[in-house]
Amino acid sequence: MKAVVYKGPFSVAVEDVPDPEIKHPNDVIVKVTSTCICGSDLHMYEGRTAAEPGIIFGHENMGIIQEVGSAVKERKVGDRVVMPFNVGCGFCKNCQRGYTGFCVTVNPGFAGGAYGYVAMGPWRGGQAEYLQVPFADFNCLPLPAGTENEANYALLADIFPTGYHGAELADVSPGESVAVFGAGPVGLMAAYSCVIRGAAEIYVIDHVKERLDKAGEIGGIPINFDDGDPVQVIRDMRGGDGVDKTIDAVGYQAAARGSSAAGGQQTEVPNIVLNQMIDVINPTGIMGIPGLYVPSDPGGVDENAKRGALTLNFGRLFEKGLSLGTGQCNVKRYNAYLRDLITVGKANPSFVVSHEVPLGDAVDAYDKFDKRVDGYTKVILNP
């Protein structure tokens, strides 16, 4: 079959690889219909991880079940399904408590597995024609048959639940004010989730005009941090008051103010968003942090950044009595509910999708997405 294979920094290829097979009685094989390129794929693509050439990319996968292992109970050939990017077993101490992003079964020696990602276990990615899915009864979310809502449902694999996870970690509730840092795909999904959860005011901070425009269209209040300190801007808009909750949808590659205005490489300040969140939030607030931070970053801006150490204004955080929650999204905790919102027409997350292209165009898509040219913000590959 054809698959997107990592060849080295800034290089992928669409190549022939062996078809996946049922290796365990609880497996199914899915014929992939939609598979997204994720911002976190670019971490590998740019050589900012330990990924070795040969990895098949793709952790945001959706398709039709093609073959079913002998122990699978509920899933059938022909089922239309979407899989969480996390691979879970369903029975370990973390999965059974709903922490399916921290499964201790599927990636021995580590808590958490995923398809097609460095250090996340032996699972091949789904940017390919077919995908092996383990523990299929647990990992396959069934979808209404047909082809409707294909792009909407495809986002259930990762970014819609991941954005929602930010709102859940911050316990965003009706009537609250929230500041969402970052208006990339995850940030927009976080802001959109705050809308769904009934927040009163949703400030969205970024410095890319197109992203901020989208934030405004879904009901957010766009704040361009190149135009001024976002903490001060928000406080000025609120008569000096801060916000109830904050969400970090940026992570460790946070850009300094004005750093992309020059058109060149952006200047990273890994702790800038976290410290701004501490500043802009009111005492007793909660900070949800779905944005990625890593314990090892070969491309980090300094020695601390390289080992994932950040300098935080912890005295201020304590003085305010803040709480925070972090970590990759436990997709299975949310995906059925978000699916149902899509099915009845109350959620349409695919507004973030900029391009849908054939699998064969993956090389071009990676290149443009990485450079953020031609409006590439979120790409779905259709094998």
Q: Which is nearer to a second copy, 187 or 383 (CB)?
A: 187
Q: Which is nearer to a second copy, 49 or 377 (CB)?
A: 49
**Residue in 13, 96, 122, 217 binding a second copy, rule: CB under 8 A:** 96
Residues in region 199-258 near a second copy by CB under 8 A: 200-201, 252
- Bridge-based pairing state of the strands 80-83 and 60-68: antiparallel
Residues 83, 339, 377, 220, CA torsion sign: negative
Residues in region 278-297 near a second copy by CB under 8 A: 282-284, 289, 292-297
- Shortest distance, position 99 Cβ to a second copy, whole Å: 5
- Shortest distance, position 273 Cβ to a second copy, whole Å: 11
- Shortest distance, position 220 Cβ to a second copy, whole Å: 12
Can you spell out the DSSP letters for 101-149?
Answer: GG-SSSSTTSS-EETT-TTS-SPPPSSBSEEEESSHHHHPEE--SSSTT
Residues in region 7-26 near a second copy by CB under 8 A: 24-26
- Determine whether 174 is exposed, middle or buried from the number of CB atoms within 10 Å of its CB (0-12, 13-18, 19+): exposed
**Residue in 16, 70, 146, 373 binding a second copy, rule: CB under 8 A:** 70
Quick check: 66 and 29 in contact, CB under 8 A?
Answer: yes
**Residue in 53, 321, 364, 371 binding a second copy, rule: CB under 8 A:** 321
Q: Give the other-Cβ count within 10 Å of 336's Cβ.
A: 11
Q: Which is nearer to a second copy, 293 or 369 (CB)?
A: 293
**Residue in 8, 9, 98, 122 binding a second copy, rule: CB under 8 A:** 98
* Backbone region of residue 198 per phi and psi (left: phi > 0; alpha: psi in -120 to 50; beta: other values): left
Q: Which is nearer to a second copy, 266 or 343 (CB)?
A: 343
Measured CA to CA in angstroms, residue 93 lies from 133, 230, 327, 329 at distances of 21, 41, 17, 17
- Shortest distance, position 39 Cβ to a second copy, whole Å: 15
Structure-block tokens of residue 103? 């499964």
| Candidate ranges 7-15, 147-155, 189-197, 207-215; the one touching a second copy (CB under 8 A) | 189-197
Structure-block tokens of residue 304? 């601390």
Residues in region 147-186 near a second copy by CB under 8 A: 164, 169, 173-177
| Candidate ranges 121-129, 225-233, 320-328, 360-368; the one touching a second copy (CB under 8 A) | 320-328
